[in-house]
C-alpha cells in the first residue's frame, strides 16, 4: 500500500465519522426542557387576564406534585404528567362549596410554557414564564407554616417555624395561640417529601408529647398529630410575606389647614390733632 492510498483512507474515515461526532455533540448540547420550578402564569380568560403562580416539584421517586396560588387562594394540582416537552395537569378549586376542575395542556420551550386550558366556562389560552427552581431538599420545608390542628369540636391555628443549621440539620420553633403553655420541637426530619417531628408541651405542670407525620407538597402540608388522646388531623400552609409587609405605615397626618384669606388690617383711630 503506497502513501497516497493511506492518506485517502484516513480522509475517507474522517468524512464518514464527522456526522457521528456532530450528532453526538448535538445531543449533548441540547438542553432538555424541564417543568420543575416556579412559574408565573397568565391565562387569557374571557374579557380579562388572570394571573397566578404555579410551583411544581419532584420527589425522590420521580413523582411530580404542584400547587397553584392566585387571588382566589391556594389549590393543589393533580394528574401531572410531563413527557417529551409536553405537560398536562388538572387544577381543582372549591368555589361556593363546589369543586371546579380545569385541565391544562401545553408545551415547554426553554423558560416558556404555552398551551390551552379547558374549564367550566370554556377553552382559553395561557402562557407561563419560569422564575426559578423550585425549592428542594431541606429548603423545601424551611420557612414559616400556619398549622391548623383539628381538635374535638374546634380548630386550633398556630405557627411552626423551620430553620436550617450550618451543618444542614433542621430545627423547629412552635408558637402557640391556644394558651396551652410553651412547646418545643425535637427530632425534626424531612426526607423525600415526608415531615416528622415531636412536639412537647408543658401545660399546668404536665408534660404532653405528640408526634407529627405529614406530607409536604409545595406550599401545603397534610398530616396527623398522634397523641395519647387520639389522632389529630392537621393541615398547614406556608406563610408568605405581603409585598408591603415590613414597611412602617406613616401615621395619619391632619389635613393641612387652608390659609385664611387676607383680611384688611383694622383702621387705627386718628389721633386728636392739637388746635
Domains of the chain by residue range: 37-132, 137-238
Tell the CATH topology of 37-132: Lipocalin (2.40.128)
Identify the DSSP state of 153.
T
- With bands split at pLDDT 50, 70 and 90, how would you rate the model's confidence at 225? very high
Per-residue confidence (pLDDT) for residue 192, from 0 to 100: 74
More confident of the two residues 20 and 218: 218
Let me know if the fold of 37-132 is the same as that of 137-238.
Answer: yes
User: For the ranges 9-13, 97-101, 165-169, 171-175, which has the lowest average pLDDT?
Assistant: 9-13
Per-residue confidence (pLDDT) for residue 274, from 0 to 100: 52
CATH of 137-238, one of 2.40.128.120, 2.60.120.10, 3.90.1150.10, 3.40.50.300: 2.40.128.120
Residues 6 or more apart whose Cβ sits within 8 Å of residue 245: none
Model confidence pLDDT, tens digit, residues 45-93: 777 888 888 888 887 677 888 888 887 777 889 999 999 889 999 998 8
- Whole-angstrom distance, CA of residue 229 vs CA of residue 18: 73
Per-residue confidence (pLDDT) for residue 269, from 0 to 100: 55
Q: How far is CA 32 from the centre of its chain?
A: 24
Give the range with max mean pLDDT: 91-95, 102-106, 165-169: 102-106
Please identify which residue in the block is written with the cell numbers 387520639: 230
The C-alpha torsion from 251 through 256 and 257 to 259, rounded to 10°, is 160
User: What is the residue-averaged pLDDT of the chain?
Assistant: 76
- Cβ atoms within 10 A of the Cβ of 119, count? 16
The pTM of the whole model exceeds 0.85: no
- Evaluate if residue 200 carries a pLDDT over 60: yes
Amino acid at each position: 500500500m503506497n502513501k497516497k492510498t493511506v492518506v485517502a483512507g484516513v480522509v475517507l474515515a474522517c468524512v464518514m465519522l464527522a456526522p457521528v461526532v456532530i450528532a453526538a455533540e448535538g445531543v449533548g448540547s441540547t438542553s432538555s426542557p424541564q417543568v420543575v420550578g416556579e412559574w408565573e402564569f397568565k391565562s387569557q380568560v374571557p374579557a380579562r387576564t388572570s394571573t397566578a403562580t404555579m410551583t411544581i416539584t419532584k420527589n425522590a421517586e420521580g413523582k411530580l406534585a404542584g400547587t397553584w396560588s392566585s387571588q382566589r387562594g391556594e389549590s393543589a394540582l393533580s394528574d401531572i404528567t410531563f413527557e417529551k416537552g409536553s405537560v398536562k395537569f388538572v387544577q381543582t378549586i372549591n368555589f361556593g362549596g363546589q369543586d371546579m376542575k380545569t385541565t391544562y395542556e401545553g408545551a415547554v420551550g426553554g423558560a416558556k410554557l404555552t398551551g390551552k386550558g379547558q374549564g367550566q366556562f370554556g377553552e382559553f389560552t395561557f402562557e407561563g414564564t419560569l422564575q426559578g427552581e423550585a425549592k428542594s431538599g431541606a429548603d423545601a420545608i424551611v420557612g414559616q407554616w400556619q398549622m391548623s390542628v383539628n381538635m374535638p369540636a374546634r380548630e386550633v391555628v398556630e405557627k411552626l417555624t423551620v430553620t436550617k443549621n450550618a451543618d444542614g440539620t433542621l430545627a423547629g420553633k412552635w408558637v402557640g395561640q391556644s394558651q396551652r403553655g410553651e412547646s418545643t420541637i425535637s427530632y425534626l426530619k424531612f426526607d423525600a417529601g415526608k415531615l416528622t417531628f415531636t412536639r412537647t408541651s408543658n401545660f399546668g405542670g404536665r408534660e404532653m408529647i405528640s408526634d407529627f407525620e405529614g406530607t409536604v407538597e409545595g406550599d401545603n402540608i397534610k398530616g396527623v398529630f398522634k397523641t395519647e388522646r387520639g389522632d389529630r388531623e392537621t393541615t398547614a400552609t406556608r406563610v408568605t410575606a405581603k409585598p408591603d409587609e415590613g414597611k412602617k405605615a406613616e401615621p395619619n397626618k391632619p389635613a393641612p389647614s387652608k390659609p385664611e384669606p387676607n383680611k384688611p388690617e383694622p383702621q387705627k383711630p386718628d389721633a386728636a390733632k392739637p388746635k
